[in-house]
Amino acid sequence: MHKSLAASFIAIMILIMGALGQATPALAETEDTLFLILVDRHAVIQSEGGLGLTESFIGLVSTLREGQQVAFVMADAPANVFGPVVAGGAEFKAVHKEFMSALASSEAAAAVNLVNSLGQTFNFLADVEAPAGSTVYTVTGGELRDDVVSSGDTLTLIMNNFKDAQWPVIAVGLPGVSPATSAFLDMISIEFGGDRYELSAIDGFKEIADGILSDRARGGLVEMGSGTLSPSEVITSSIDIAPGTGEATIVFFKDGQQASLRLSNPSGFEASDGDRSVSSVFETPFVVVWRLLDPVPGEWNVEMRGAGQISAWQSTTNKLSVDFLSFDSVPYDLPTELVAFVSDDGELVLVEGVEVRAIITDTEGNITFHQLNDDGVLGDAIAGDGYYGTTISPLGVEGNYPIKLELYWPEYDHSISTMKTVSAQAFPSVQLSVLKTEELKLAERNLVATALVHIKGQPYAISIDQLSVELVSILAEPGILEVLPQSLVNQGQAWGFDIYLTPTNEDLHTLIFNLNMQYAGREYTYTSDSIVVSSLLPPPLPEPIVIVLPEPPPVITPPVLLVNRGLPRELLAIPGIIGVAILGWALYLLTRPKPYGYIYNDQNVLLVDFADLDRSVGAAFFSKNAVRGDELGVSELDGVSFKFAKDRVELLSARTEPTVRVDNQPLIEGEQTTIYDHSWIGTQGKLFSFFLSRPIVQPAPAVGDD
């Protein structure tokens, strides 16, 4: 009991005061994390094959985490730290060899209190200011000392300090651990999310390798071949290295030292450890790791021979990536451009013999494939510039669309991919009402059109400078174009605009309407359909041609003899027929529907309630289902009439000038069209809305509202 209290007290004091008297070299200024391997030498000696398994574990971890800072510590001498050095660097081999020699020393290693060793390890990491994500691997096994078993509270305190510093501790067990040691390792793993490994010749090392590669975002190992060999057997396999591969790692697990590995490049030459420009190898009793840096593309061959159980695995990382230039938000009802490029560490590179394609999943889970090209066609701007593009049809439905972008090498049947999610939503657009297109008067302001900015039919206020109209003409000075807001909503914003043109010469003028604005976190440009207006004067009327016809000869009418035969019987039926016609006409007049619906102006002010219209008795009876525009009290609607049926409303025009447009379609003299709920009627520079039922008018949002 006294020993347990003393051990706990010592561990706590270590955490508070630090490792006094130990001068520890500081890490160089780097963002790379540090990994430290804490080895229980007493457990290694106790475990059968423990030294070879530990050496293989250290070699595997150091190779897969090459380029990071590494340090080695023996639990029975925690103040004596080997390192830190860069794994795979110039000093690594010497430090690794020195540590393995100390670990294999014939000097007896007494059982130690691992809780105290972990406490001193924490102090070391704190002294060198190890960055978050630095990792401690604790390797132990066999039997634990009694004071370790009873130091649960102290261990929890130490583990909490590791968690606060974001330094994971990973438990690694040697073969033949006791129940108490297993419980100790479980406690460590539970504190850090279940990371615990068992050292075994093949399966255990494979699990460790997968965990490291996954943590470093390099995926996992892919099997190349495995089996149990007799001394005379050989297993061969191959690995296809795609262009742009920055690193290929081949890991060879074996259950003894009898098996060997040979690797040859696509030209048939055997790779060697001495060829440092292309490869490096780290060989241990149970694990051999080959790393190929910038390997030659093509088929590499692996030959495994020897005796016992063997297993070969590979992992590749590509230094190239395929990146989007497209926006995160796109209009759901407009064609969308997809643009991508191939990059090496963020820099655009030109790659030959590749295909770029986008795989889009819609809101119902349907998948479509789109080929991107760098040929200057079908949505690609410039051929051969390294930017791949295409234009896809409108997505059609609002929602989120996952897009998988693939860079594919057909020759090697290899691809790398990038995922992106695009949000399809409604964007602002412009609804035009063309008012006058012909015979514009020279040197006078002509109201040629009105523009309504809206989102899915709802008016949307914009700054005045965000709507521009481009005037295209063959004349150097075609005239003066004005874009004037119909009414300001707030702080210089409006949604309705009048378009005036003052032509200076006779010509045909093309007007193109553009929106340029920030919307949904992106630059947004919208271009409407163009309209053409004319300031050409009408041609003069031709001189009338007078044709003089000769006088016709006189007509001689023969005399008519009148014979009184009495009143014909057919005439007696006429009064009955007239009575039936009058009765039918009266029934028709009485059964016609009454006018219905409402008309609002562009300020959402009610102008006409057809059901409550004040009409003359004659008009209400003889034109019960038809209303002339001059009965409405709205001068702009003179010359049109509304005809009401049970299932529709027809609008008729009896004039050519001024023009009338219904939902941006012209209605010429003598024509009629059906109008619907929310239909727009534009005439004489005014915009009216027809509603079947009275709408609920909501105030426009103030500037800054979400």
pLDDT for the residue numbered 32: 73
b (16+ CB within 10 A) / e for 412-431: bebbbeeebebebbbbbbbb
What are 137's two structure tokens?
A: 């691997």
Res. 418: pLDDT tops 90? no
| Least confident window among 15-29, 186-200, 388-402, 444-458 | 15-29
Higher pLDDT, 585 or 516: 516
Measured on CA atoms in the order 393, 394, 396, 402, is the torsion positive or negative?
A: positive
CA distance 114 to 108: 17
pLDDT for the residue numbered 123: 92
CA distance 59 to 405: 37
Res. 17: pLDDT tops 50? no
Query: CB-hemisphere CA count at 13 Å for 162?
Result: 25
| Mean pLDDT estimate for the chain | 81
**Average of per-residue pLDDT across 36-45:** 90
**Average of per-residue pLDDT across 121-141:** 91
Instruction: Please state whether 406 falls in left (phi above 0), alpha (psi between -120 and 50) or beta.
Output: beta
pLDDT for the residue numbered 402: 93
pLDDT for the residue numbered 590: 61
Domains and their CATH numbers in the chain: 2-18+26-199 (3.40.50.410), 222-318 (2.60.120.380), 320-425 (2.60.40.10), 429-534 (2.60.40), 598-691 (2.60.200.20)
Max mean pLDDT range (29-38, 277-286, 472-481)? 472-481
Higher pLDDT, 702 or 422: 422
Structure confidence by residue, pLDDT tens digits, 227-255: 777 777 787 877 778 777 888 888 888 87
Higher pLDDT, 47 or 369: 369
CA dihedral angle for residue 611, residue 615, residue 619, residue 625, rounded to 10 degrees? -10
At 545, is the pLDDT very low, low, confident or very high (cuts 50, 70, 90)? low
- How many CB atoms within 10 Å of residue 549? 5
Q: Global pTM? A: 0.53
pLDDT for the residue numbered 655: 79
pLDDT for the residue numbered 12: 43
pLDDT for the residue numbered 341: 92
CA distance 194 to 200: 18
Res. 394: pLDDT tops 80? yes
- How many CB atoms within 10 Å of residue 323? 15
For residue 393, give every residue at least 6 positions away whose Cβ sits within 8 Å of its Cβ, in sequence order, or none.
Answer: 335
Structure confidence by residue, pLDDT tens digits, 595-630: 989 998 878 889 999 888 888 877 777 788 889 888
